[in-house]
Chains A and B, each alone.
Chain A
């Protein structure tokens, strides 16, 4: 167990198969403490598979080390230090919120009922409410409040804002930032709503068809990727320098390069901040043809 280490998760050649289908293909990465890591990818890219492997719910090949535990074998001990919100709002519908607090107190050694109640006060959910009477957004907020009340070092969230309205999403991110980002804990959050989450992240990992195509801290993106807005006349010269993506933004032509393009090409355009959305489109293959703009 690595207590003093800064690395919370370490993956070496992690692969995962569903029968013949390859869900994850030889992933290598590590996640340090105090980071908010976005796991981006289209549906079926392998995000959920990776997260399930991390919490011991799925077999995998290769070495996966989460908080010093081997997830499959030490699942129970691992889950005492990691909190996990799976895909959809799945709190038991028969229960009252107060009952869930009582159950979590008995099941999670690091759960604080008081903290849960305090966090719930930020929402419009009352402890006496029954889960089945709550809207989807309120269920997710309740779940997050319960999870954030666990003194865990790592929070793994699998598309937690799926299907939520804007207000609920804002409230969710707000609670996440306020209650969790203290520099010691880390969050791994998967989503395909890239725009929204860009500001929250400190690092990004992009999965495409099971492969890790990008793993980079956000503040290094501008060092590596170059986005140029250019006039239409320059299009040919730009294309000749092999950008990874060409697109239009606000009526202007733009191109994205991995690594600096040759200076004579760079001078043809105005340098922009490469957005995460553009990187996402460039590096991953969408199931549908048209990228979102």
Chain B
């Protein structure tokens, strides 16, 4: 069973995971999202939690709610996501990482940028 860390509410972590999948094109733009029940079963979560996660993604403008049909991946979602992710990385994760690099005394050429 996937484990959830202690930093954020579970629904937020699920939303992030689903967003990550969207970035990879899963599901592609215009396609329907998996149902709440399917996601609940897949991630072993209460459907209410899954609902909150999907709501968060909708609020972020990544999903469209079409009446009677369910949730669909909005056109341009991947670009939007990439922008959001880049922003978050540059504003939050990168400064922490940079601090760590400095603390460890690692230089740019030691980072093996070319690999994988």
Distance, CA A249 to CA B49, complexed state (A): 25
In the complex, A222→B7 CA distance in Å?
Answer: 11
Contacts of B6 in A (CB 8 A): 227, 249, 272-273, 275
On chain A, the number of residues with a Cβ less than 8 Å from chain B's Cβ atoms is 22
A201 lies within 8 A of B46 (CB): yes
B55, chain A: closest CB distance, angstroms: 12
Q: How many residues of B contact A (CB 8 A)?
A: 20
A residues less than 8 Å from B43 (CB atoms): 199
Q: Which A209-263 residues have C-beta < 8 A from chain B?
A: 218-219, 222, 227, 249
- B9 and A222 within 8 A (CB): yes
By a CB distance below 8 angstroms, the chain A residues around B41 are 174, 177-178
Residues in B with CB closer than 8 Å to A201 are 46
Q: Could you tell me which residues of chain B, from 35 to 77, have a CB within 8 Å of some CB in chain A?
A: 37, 40-41, 43-49, 52
From B5, B7, B40, B46, name the one whose CB has the most chain A CB atoms within 10 angstroms. B46
Interface SS of chain A = helix
Given known contacts A177-B37, A273-B6, A202 and B44 CB-to-CB distance under 8 angstroms? no
Tell which of B1, B8, B52 touches A170, judged by Cβ atoms closer than 8 Å. Answer: B1
Task: Determine which residue in A174, A177, A219 has the highest number of CB atoms from chain B within 10 A of its CB, and name it.
Answer: A177
Instruction: List, in ascending order, chain A residues with CB within 8 A of B49's CB.
Output: 199, 202, 218
Contacting pair A273 B44 (CB below 8 A): no
Whether the pair A199, B8 counts as a contact (CB closer than 8 A) is: no
Q: Please give the distance in Å from A25's CB to the nearest CB on chain B.
A: 29
B94 is an interface residue with CB less than 8 A from chain A: no
In angstroms, Cα B6 to Cα A177, docked, is 24
Q: B44–A170 contact, CB under 8 A?
A: yes
A129 lies within 8 A of chain B by Cβ: no
A181→B10 CA distance, assembly (Å)? 18
Asked if B48 and A199 make an inter-chain contact with CB atoms under 8 angstroms apart, the answer reads: no
Distance of A23 from chain B, by nearest CB (Å): 29
Given contacts A177-B46, A200-B45, A218-B46, 12 further A-B contacts (CB under 8 A): A36-B46, A177-B44, A178-B37, A178-B40, A181-B37, A198-B10, A199-B49, A219-B11, A219-B52, A249-B6, A273-B5, A273-B10
